[in-house]
């Protein structure tokens, strides 16, 4: 027997990961450089991204070895605020640490 009820857009979507009722999420990425200290990156991950000491060390080493790494997944405005916080703290301490975001 065929389906009588028209399908809602939420049920159909346009692909397996479509979420019409949730805001898009953005990956916040930390970039490696040769001058920022490992300790400072760990502090940034703990205080701005609320990582545990162990996770902060793991993420920092991943960025150090691979050139970049994900700090977290956030809605646009929260991602932008975290990037601004990393920028101002890094500038204040004289480090060139760069942080960016991309649509998940
Ligand atoms: N590569 C830096 C060093 O050897 C450490 C570092 C890690 C810098 C992660 C930035 O996002 C970064 N001191």
Which of the four pLDDT bands, split at 50, 70 and 90, describes residue 18?
low
> Which fold would CATH assign to domain 30-103?
Ribosomal Protein L30; Chain: A, (3.30.1390)
Pocket test for ligand 1, best of 64, 66, 95, 100 (most atoms within 8 A of CB): 64
Handedness of CA 69, 71, 74, 78 (dihedral sign): negative
Q: Say how many Å lie between the CA of residue 100 and the centre of ligand 1.
A: 15
Pocket test for ligand 1, best of 45, 56, 63, 94 (most atoms within 8 A of CB): 63
Looking at residues 49-57, what average pLDDT do you find?
98
Model pLDDT, residue 17: 59
- Residues 6+ positions from 57 with CB-CB distance below 8 Å: 42
Which of the four pLDDT bands, split at 50, 70 and 90, describes residue 21?
confident
Residue 79 has pLDDT above 60, yes or no: yes
Q: Which atom of ligand 1 is nearest to the CA of 68?
A: 11
Looking at residues 76-101, what average pLDDT do you find?
98
């Amino acid at each position: 027997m065929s389906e009588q009820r028209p399908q809602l857009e939420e049920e159909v979507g346009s692909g397996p990961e479509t979420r019409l009722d949730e805001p898009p999420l953005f990956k916040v990425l930390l970039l490696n450089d040769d001058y920022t200290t490992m300790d400072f990156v760990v502090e940034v991950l703990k205080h701005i991204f609320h990582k545990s000491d162990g996770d902060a060390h793991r993420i920092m080493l991943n960025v150090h070895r691979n050139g970049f790494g994900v700090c977290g997944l956030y809605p646009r405005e929260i991602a932008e605020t975290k990037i601004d916080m990393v920028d101002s703290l890094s500038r204040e301490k004289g480090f060139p640490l760069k942080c960016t975001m991309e649509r998940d």
